[in-house]
Structure 1
Amino acid sequence: MWKKVRLGGRIVEKRIIQVEEKVPFKLLVPLSIQHMFAMFGASVLVPFLFGINPAVVLLMNGVGTLLFILITKGKAPAYLGSSFAFLGPAGLVIEKFGFSYALGGFVAIGIGGMIVALLIGKFGTDWIDVVLPPAAMGPVVALIGLELAGNAADNAGLLAEQIDVKNVMVFLVTLGTAVFGQVLFRKFFSVIPILIAIIVGYAAAGLCGLLDFAEVSSASFFALPNFQTPRFNLEAILTIFPALLLVTSEHIGHQVVTGKIVGRDLLKEPGLNRSLFADFFSTTLSGCVGSVPTTTYGENIGVMAVTKVYSVQVIGGAAVLSICCSFLGKLSALISTIPGPVIGGISFLLYGMIGTSGLRMLVDSRVDYGKSKNLALTSVIFVTGLSGIALKIGNVELTGMVLACVVGMALSLIFHLLEKYHLTNETAGE
């Protein structure tokens, strides 16, 4: 379909590939590669931090994404990558009991999440409008991208004590190609600006001498993923289980922002219960074979926002490529040579697009900031999310977007009750 947008004071038509649309093969391949590159850096970082081979993670990310598409009936475009929500508690379990017991915790939290999804399917999602009205949901969604801004700068090497000029050059080339490509590229190239930016940035990194192919030369052409089985311990499970709140909050935020991007209410169709069940089913399956928990990925949401390509066929293509990479040792090693400044340059744009989507929610919902409730909600959520404060529950630390979401939900519920009983100064006398 085509959508009319305003560019430079004039109305132009821009091609949008919707969720259910089929994509020609010559377009499907580069679009799928683009999505795979977007998730690759962050997704393989988690297994590196856990000290396990990333091949099994790439395999289960791909399998989990395909299952997600199947369970949501192909109506919710999302890529499932490695979740960072479990790093803290899982690290404690690994240190005390070993990785196999962390896998048991992943399986338990996956089962718990599926139960939550079934409860949502029974009782509906109307409660979301109460605990997360637009004045709260908008800033929560914006924080998904904004709180990652520091990660993008860190990947690019811009926060180091001594900044390398080569890193800055590669970062600027990558970011510049992505930004101006989005504005200037036409026809076929207009839908793959991220992929082009990665290629250009990679070439710039080569010219600056930032590429290291030692691991590529030592990697085997074919390799089987290293599967492991979970072991269960109550203390280990209880240490990891509170992360259920983090992943659920993150999932709701991602589904809302994706829905705004594609122009559909994904909480209603295919339904939050389906997408959440699929997310946690993937986590359960991953824990059973030795992989890490999965979650919907903001990087890929950013790609959709930039390219206007929402087809689940493209997401599925990226998942198949991820599965292939898990068995092709040299290909996986080659992709992992993409340097931080390239990833950082791409992330600068993608994370910003997610933040902008949250602000767009406030505009589209016409939030009235003449009302004290709305002004207070948005203000407190933004400051909570960006202040760096943290709340510890057992071994799980709530901070950033997740803590802001919890605070926003509690505050929204209190405001709802105060309005219901006409206790606020704006409802007094009604």
Structure 2
Amino acid sequence: MENKRIIQVEEKVEPKLLVPLSIQHMFAMFGATVMVPILFNINPAVVLLMNGIGTLLFILITKGKAPAYLGSSFAFLGPAGIVITTWGYPYALGGFIAVGIAICVLSFIIYKFGVKWIDVVLPPAAMGPVVALIGLELAKTAAEKAGLIPQDKIPIDSKNVLVFLVTLAVAVFGNVLFRKFFAVIPILVAIIAGYIAALFTKVVTISEVSQALHTQLFKMPNFQLPRFKLEAIIMIFPVILVIASEHIGHQIVTSKIVERDLIKNPGLHRSLLADGISTMLSGFVGSVPTTTYGENIGVMAMTKVYSVQVIAGAAILSILSSFIGPVAALIQTIPGPVIGGISFLLYGTIGASGIRLLVDAQVDYSRSRNLVLTSVIFVTGLSGVALQLGKVTLQGMVLGCIVGMVLSLFFYFLEKFHLTNEQ
């Protein structure tokens, strides 16, 4: 196999590569995807099961043309947390189902009216910074996960720094130096190297590993049925703004990585429909809403392996791990510095994809419109400014995207009526 040969979306992967590549994707998504159920105080097993099923449905609905892994969505944390505290988790599930149905309806609207509006509301000068923000706004999260930012006057642990540096160094130099078989699994090798460093520095202890391995072999996920309450649904429903903006951004950055227009083929309506159905089904069995995952997009960008067969393999592993106790327990022992080291590189890669979009589109910054769009979106997304809509907070990439869309529409009509000074 040639070093860094691109494995395209529809290509089959030889068995000796399929398993490690699938494990690599599973490790990339695992830390974030189990964090949501932990915060909701529910068993992560049902989430791993439904994330895997949702990903397989996504591949089926998009005809195997859009490589994406569906993991737990963080967008619902705020409003769902309030609903859980007030009425209980079953009523949050009812809200998840309502949002899932609304996403499906939105997909049919897009199917009916097309996607040409995206070029108007998100031209390259706006889309570039929006895509970049997907990775850049998560930079602090990666640093916090790695333990590199002091919390409550607690000094940074040198052991965490060492494990982080080992993980990041192997990922960075492995991506440049690895050849043949190892050239496509630098992320997996880096995770293993970081985990070994964590064992040597006792960031992870042998007793923790032993305890994980002695977990009950087979476990059934804990399913729950939803309940519906209008107040709970109204409280959660505005999250659809976040989901839609995030989904469009992820599909566009994935399109740039695989060098195919996924918005047109298989179509935004198909990918959005799959996301909505996955969220809806998750709500019916007690899981959490799903979304396409930036971590896995980053893995594809780093490895140049875009095959949906690999994504499907990761989904199947996720489903199996929901029933096999020691697997999930062992993966949960992967420490924050290892996840943080990998995230540093993956999030940065997504940010660079946004810059690449601007370069490829040859955006002319001598035009005031383009300069203003990119500047305002970047500042809005990175400044920490937030807009509160009921119980939903819009900030970061989502708020930057909405501001960019509004500005783009204004500029479009100003140019249409020849009112700009450039005309």
- Regarding TM over 0.5, the answer is yes
Q: Is residue 392 of structure 1 aligned with residue 394 of structure 2?
A: no
Q: Is residue 194 of structure 1 aligned with residue 184 of structure 2?
A: no
Deviations 1:332-381 (Å, cap 9, x if unpaired)? 00000000000000000000000000000000000000000000000000
In the TM superposition, 1:346-425 aligns within 5 A as 346-425=342-421
1:218 Cα offset (Å)? 5.7
Count how many residue pairs are aligned between Structure 1 and Structure 2.
417
Cα distance in 1 between the residues matched to 2:319 and 2:213: 21
Cα distance in 2 between the residues matched to 1:103 and 1:25: 39
User: Which residue of 316, 330, 333 maps to 1:334?
Assistant: 330
Cα distance in 1 between the residues matched to 2:189 and 2:214: 28
1:213 Cα offset (Å)? 3.1
Cα distance in 2 between the residues matched to 1:285 and 1:356: 34
CA contact (8 A) 2:4 2:303 kept: no
CA contact (8 A) 2:4 2:183 kept: no
User: Which residue of 214, 221, 228 maps to 1:225?
Assistant: 221
Cα distance in 2 between the residues matched to 1:403 and 1:117: 21
Cα distance in 1 between the residues matched to 2:227 and 2:55: 25
User: Which residue of 345, 352, 355 maps to 2:341?
Assistant: 345
1:216 Cα offset (Å)? 1.1
Cα distance in 2 between the residues matched to 1:198 and 1:152: 15
Q: Is residue 155 of structure 1 aligned with residue 159 of structure 2?
A: no
Cα distance in 2 between the residues matched to 1:313 and 1:215: 33
Q: Which residue does 1:253 correspond to in 2?
A: 249
1:215 Cα offset (Å)? 4.8
User: Which residue of 78, 83, 86 maps to 2:73?
Assistant: 83
Cα distance in 2 between the residues matched to 1:69 and 1:132: 26
For the structure 1 residues 228 and 353, does the alpha-carbon distance in structure 2 shift closer, same or farther, using more than 3 Å as the test?
A: same
Q: Which residue does 2:314 correspond to in 1?
A: 318
User: Which residue of 271, 294, 305 maps to 2:301?
Assistant: 305
For the structure 1 residues 214 and 399, does the alpha-carbon distance in structure 2 shift closer, same or farther, using more than 3 Å as the test?
A: farther
CA contact (8 A) 2:130 2:249 kept: yes
Q: Which residue does 2:200 correspond to in 1?
A: 207
Cα distance in 2 between the residues matched to 1:217 and 1:262: 38
1:192 Cα offset (Å)? 0.1
> CA RMSD, aligned part only?
1.0
- Secondary structure (helix, strand or coil) at the match of 2:202 reads coil
1:14 Cα offset (Å)? 3.9
Query: What is the TM-score of this pair, normalised by structure 2?
Result: 0.97
Q: Which residue does 2:165 correspond to in 1?
A: 172
CA contact (8 A) 2:298 2:350 kept: yes
CA contact (8 A) 2:217 2:324 kept: yes
Q: Is residue 69 of structure 1 aligned with residue 59 of structure 2?
A: yes
Q: Which runs of 5+ in 2 are unaligned?
A: none
Q: Which residue does 2:262 correspond to in 1?
A: 266
Cα distance in 2 between the residues matched to 1:131 and 1:426: 20
1:246 Cα offset (Å)? 0.1
1:330 Cα offset (Å)? 1.1
The residue identity in structure 2 corresponding to 1:90 is A
Q: Is residue 237 of structure 1 aligned with residue 230 of structure 2?
A: no
The residue identity in structure 2 corresponding to 1:267 is I
User: Which residue of 1, 21, 32 maps to 1:42?
Assistant: 32
Query: What is the TM-score of this pair, normalised by structure 1?
Result: 0.96
